[in-house]
A and B are shown apart, each in its own frame.
Chain A
Amino acid sequence: QVQLVQSGAEVKKPGASVKVSCKASGYTFTSYYMHWVRQAPGQGLEWMGIINPSGGSTSYAQKFQGRVTMTRDTSTSTVYMELSSLRSEDTAVYYCARPTHDYGAFDIWGQGTMVTVSS
């Protein structure tokens, strides 16, 4: 079945970087974009950016420009989201999500990865 499995929880100090992985299975990895969405504790959903696993092109929300990097490894059907210069406000659950088609709704979600930023 189609599924996205993310890496485990992380605890980082302010100023550090974190890299979260999302391994896809059950479908042709390069046929669907992949999004990253985060959710701070008790807050709503926030879109961070998108990667095209086929060519590797990316587009990021302006809020994260310069701090986020999304990459992919087609040999393992895995996408990565790296966020640098972490601050306490980056404490959140990070999700990868696959759309139904280009610009479509997000029908498949990873289980989420909790990232805690604390000194």
Chain B
Amino acid sequence: SYVLTQPPSVSVAPGQTARITCGGNNIGSKSVHWYQQKPGQAPVLVVYDDSDRPSGIPERFSGSNSGNTATLTISRVEAGDEADYYCQVWDSSSDPYYVFGTGTKVTVL
């Protein structure tokens, strides 16, 4: 199966920039999606197809994807950004077809 590896935690001060990586074999050839999940809530899509944002998601959220690493960048971090973040890809040659990353807890200091 295809494996996506994320750092367990990232800490960032308010107003600074948080970068969350998602590592996978040749992930740059796949479309990567990112979800934000706050405690007790369902996940929310924040970036899709590597770098597009759904309507209603602040421009502070951006994404990139190249080689073996995809990155979610949160600029000008706010207290409300504290959450778990998951990357996800579709890989038709894998089982399961839809793979989630291990998840990263973002803590706002």
Contact = CB atoms under 8 A, between A and B. Distances in A.
A61 interface: yes
Task: Bin chain A's interface residue count.
Answer: 20 to 34
A48 B99 CA distance: 10
A2 to B, nearest CB: 12
B45 A106 contact: yes
A44 interface: yes
Contacts of A53: none
Task: Bin chain B's interface residue count.
Answer: 20 to 34
Contact of B48 (A35, A105, A110): A105
Contact of A105 (B49, B96, B103): B49
Interface string B40-73: 0011110011000010000000000000000000
A32 to B, nearest CB: 14
Contact of B33 (A44, A63, A105): A105
A107 B103 contact: no
B96 A62 contact: yes
B102 to A, nearest CB: 6
Given A35-B98, A62-B95, A106-B43, A44 B49 contact: no
Nearest to A59: B97
B8 to A, nearest CB: 11
Given A44-B102, A45-B86, A109 B96 contact: no
